[in-house]
């Protein structure tokens, strides 16, 4: 989820808990061999053994349509130690599709198979290579063919976002179309799309037949969603993550944004998260209204610390281990605790 679920939110959300694995934002491959610096900018967790500081593995995602270039970049990326390589055949962005990437390839199953096979050959055998797709470009007519192309190319797992490119992110997600894809392949299939609540997750499982779910905007809007699903699976009554319990994580998020992102990006990232949190927390509306008109970093920092009651910030808790500083990115090492 480009521009949203970056390394900052991965750190914060995996601290909340309940997540088995993360996938990075897609890294666009357009013909050149990308440098380690580029990969580390997208996935600074590579400085930490390919895991977030909470210990959750991060699979690196590549997007491109040229088998040779994708393979070369996957090989370089694999040397940095990600949990695995994921291939994006689902991005609906016009700019990406116009250049033959993402969901545009769902009209070309033979190219999909070639890309997956090239990447699979280029990386070590122990490294998982997975893929993500939508139901199709305009319709779901070739969904099974595309899924089989990914499997035949060597993908070990398939995530299906249950909408077409044309559907974009408009509700609903068509989970009922996933069973036909599951029946067409022998590899595990993960359901994705429009999972905002525990009730959504349970209904998605029932309709799609998938045990595994990929959470996107839903877990950003409700950081306790993965924990709620786990509690239900364990036969326990889910305990919602309260706003008071979330505030220290919002404070940490802001600290990491200030540390790892350019100044012009910082205020916007906090507003973006608060905007999504409004779906789950009434208190987030007040916070969003307060921060929405702010542009000065010092004023926002003061508000965040006051809102969190002094919790969740380096000033309150002392030094915190970080893998996101620019020095760490340059030197390719962990910072000392």
Catalytic residues: 91
- Look up residue 125 and give its DSSP letter: T
What phi, psi does 158 have (nearest 5°)?
Answer: -135, 125
d(CA 22, CA 201): 18
Tell me whether the omega of the peptide bond preceding residue 160 falls within 30 degrees of 0, making it cis: no
d(CA 25, CA 57): 14
Contacts of 82 (CB under 8 A, 6+ apart): 43, 46, 50, 58, 59, 60, 127
Contact between 87 and 118 (Cβ < 8 Å): no
What phi, psi does 22 have (nearest 5°)?
Answer: -115, 160
Contacts of 259 (CB under 8 A, 6+ apart): 322, 324, 325
Determine the Cα angle at 59 with ends 57 and 64, to 5°. Answer: 170
Q: Which tokens go with 15?
A: 């601290």
- Look up residue 278 and give its DSSP letter: T
d(CA 86, CA 48): 19
């Amino acid at each position: 989820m480009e521009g949203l679920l970056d390394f900052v939110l991965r750190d914060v959300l995996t601290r909340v808990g309940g997540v088995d694995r993360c996938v990075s934002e897609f890294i666009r491959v357009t013909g050149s061999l990308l440098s380690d610096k580029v990969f580390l900018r997208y996935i600074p967790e590579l400085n930490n053994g390919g895991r977030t500081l909470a210990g959750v593995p991060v699979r690196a995602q590549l997007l491109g349509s040229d088998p040779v270039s994708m393979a070369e970049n996957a090989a370089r990326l694999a040397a940095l130690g990600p949990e695995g390589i994921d291939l994006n055949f689902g991005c609906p962005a016009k700019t990406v599709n116009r250049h033959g990437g993402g969901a545009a390839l769902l009209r070309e199953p033979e190219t999909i198979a070639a890309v997956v096979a090239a990447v699979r050959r280029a990386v070590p055998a122990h490294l998982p290579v997975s893929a993500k797709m939508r139901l199709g470009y305009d319709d779901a007519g070739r969904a099974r063919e595309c899924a089989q192309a990914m499997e035949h190319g060597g993908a070990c797992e398939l995530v299906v976002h249950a909408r077409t490119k044309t559907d974009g992110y408009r509700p609903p997600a068509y989970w009922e179309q996933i069973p036909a894809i599951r029946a067409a392949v022998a590899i595990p299939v993960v359901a994705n799309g429009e999972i905002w609540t525990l009730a959504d997750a349970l209904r998605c499982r029932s309709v799609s037949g998938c045990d595994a779910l990929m959470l996107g905007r839903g877990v950003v809007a409700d950081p306790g969603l993965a924990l709620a699903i786990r509690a239900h699976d364990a036969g326990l009554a889910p305990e919602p993550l309260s706003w008071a319990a979330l505030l220290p994580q919002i404070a940490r998020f802001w600290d990491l944004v200030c540390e790892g992102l350019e100044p012009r990006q910082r205020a916007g990232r906090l507003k973006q998260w608060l905007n999504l949190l409004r779906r789950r927390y009434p208190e987030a509306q007040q916070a969003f209204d307060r921060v929405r008109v702010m542009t000065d970093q010092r004023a926002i920092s003061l508000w965040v610390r006051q809102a969190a009651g002094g919790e969740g910030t380096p000033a309150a808790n002392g030094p915190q281990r970080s893998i996101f500083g620019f020095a760490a990115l340059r030197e390719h090492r962990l910072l000392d605790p």
